């Protein structure tokens, strides 16, 4: 069984890096189509950008997709996490620019919109990416790993010199709507010095204290502070789910991230698919399907925050 939206839902916001207004409409799609972005501002050439791991190109601070014709969509990780966390397997995403709206810096606005229009089951088997052997990538003390498991689980560990964050760890089984309850509301974060440097280089022009948690040493600059004491590691897990969703199917396996980011997770997927015998796409039975992200999600499960 596959899943799409009952009807379209629209999101209006600004691009984090460009600061320009952007409209994104998530539409139902037929069974078996997967997730695809469509650049509505491109009139000539291929405007379809697949949400797949092999369409990712190097980019600073976000996940950037590019098709063979050069059409791009960046900052897709939060909407991809929302779709994966709600169990949506098929959707066509119209967007009128090269960057997804940042909204409040989390996936909660997307989850709320998706669940407000509702989901519909579709014909077609439930296909998962089953991890058969452990695959790992490293860069110094940065690690990303996928290992066999009978559930989808994300383990994450971060360690920042900034006292406002410090060291944080979390492990979460992604079944039974746990993404919506535990991760969806957690916002992106950055250092004040990084914000200043990015703006000096023409980036983060749409960044505000309302769509990112800005820290400066032991101080949280953003009004209201963190939504949870460990919001930083929870957001890293949100990002990981969004980047892993580019595998093309829910993953049946355990992801471990140690100080990892978007680039390392994509590097991990590339190594996984290049490793014979480490994975397989398989139709799963009803019992396994019930343990996948998105099963049992409810709009009222989205945390209430100030």
Computed over its alpha carbons, how large is the radius of gyration of the chain?
18
Pick the catalytic residue from 17, 78, 185, 262: 262
Please give the mean pLDDT across all residues of the chain: 93
pLDDT of residue 60: 73
CA atoms of 28 and 46, how far apart (whole Å) = 20
Confidence label for 304 from pLDDT (cuts 50, 70 and 90):
confident
pLDDT at 47: 97
Is residue 25 over pLDDT 60?
yes
Architecture (CATH level 2) of domain 2-122: 2-Layer Sandwich (3.30)
pLDDT exceeds 70 at position 206: no
235 as an active site residue: the answer is: no
What is the percent of the chain where pLDDT is above 90?
Answer: 78
Whether the pLDDT of residue 200 is over 70: the answer is no
**DSSP code for 186:** P
Q: Is pLDDT at 139 greater than 80 in this prediction?
A: yes
pLDDT digits (tens, 9 = 90+) for 48-72: 999 999 999 988 789 999 999 999 9
Taking the whole predicted model, whether its pTM rises above 0.75 is answered as yes
CA atoms of 154 and 156, how far apart (whole Å): 6
pLDDT tier for residue 204 given thresholds of 50, 70 and 90:
low
- For 165-182, the pLDDT digits (tens) are 999 999 999 988 899 999
Q: Give 1's pLDDT tier (boundaries 50, 70, 90).
A: confident
* 56-57: strand order across its sheet: 56-57, 64-66, 72-74
Alpha carbon distance 44, 46 (integer Å): 7
Mean pLDDT of 203-229: 83
The pLDDT score that the predictor gives to residue 205 is 60
Q: Kindly state which CATH superfamily the domain 127-301 is placed in.
A: lpxc deacetylase, domain 2 (3.30.1700.10)
Q: Give CA 115 to chain center in angstroms.
A: 17
Q: What is the DSSP letter of 301?
A: G
Which residue bears the tokens 């379209």?
Answer: 8
Query: How many angstroms separate the CA atoms of 2 and 149, rounded?
Result: 22
Percent of the chain with pLDDT over 70: 96
**Residue ranges per structural domain of the chain:** 2-122, 127-301
């Amino acid at each position: 069984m596959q899943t799409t939206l009952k009807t379209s839902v629209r999101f209006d916001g600004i691009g984090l890096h460009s600061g320009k207004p952007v409209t994104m409409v998530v539409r139902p799609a037929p069974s078996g189509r997967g997730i695809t972005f469509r650049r509505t501002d491109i009139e000539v050439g291929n405007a379809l950008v697949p949400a797949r791991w092999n369409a990712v190109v190097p980019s600073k601070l976000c996940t950037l997709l590019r098709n063979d014709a050069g059409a791009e969509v960046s900052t897709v990780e939060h909407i991809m996490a929302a779709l994966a966390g709600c169990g949506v397997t098929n959707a066509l995403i119209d967007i009128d620019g090269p960057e997804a709206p940042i909204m409040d810096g989390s996936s909660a606005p997307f989850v709320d919109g998706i669940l407000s229009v509702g989901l519909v089951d579709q014909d077609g088997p439930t296909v998962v990416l089953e991890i058969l052997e452990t695959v790992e990538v490293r860069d110094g003390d940065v690690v990303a790993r996928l290992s066999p498991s009978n559930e989808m689980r994300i383990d994450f560990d971060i360690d920042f010199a900034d006292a406002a964050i410090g060291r944080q760890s979390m492990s979460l089984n992604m079944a039974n709507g746990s993404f919506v309850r535990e991760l969806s509301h957690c916002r992106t974060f950055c250092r004040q010095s990084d914000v200043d440097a990015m703006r000096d280089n023409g980036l983060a022009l749409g960044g505000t204290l309302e769509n990112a948690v800005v820290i400066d040493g032991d101080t949280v600059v953003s009004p209201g502070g963190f939504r949870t004491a460990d919001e930083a590691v929870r957001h890293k897990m949100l990002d990981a789910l969004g980047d892993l969703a580019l595998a093309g199917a829910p993953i049946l396996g355990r992801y471990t991230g140690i100080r990892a980011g978007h680039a390392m997770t994509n590097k991990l997927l590339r190594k996984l698919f290049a490793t014979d015998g480490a994975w397989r796409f398989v139709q799963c039975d009803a019992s396994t399907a019930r343990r996948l992200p998105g099963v049992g999600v409810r709009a009222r499960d989205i945390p209430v925050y100030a």
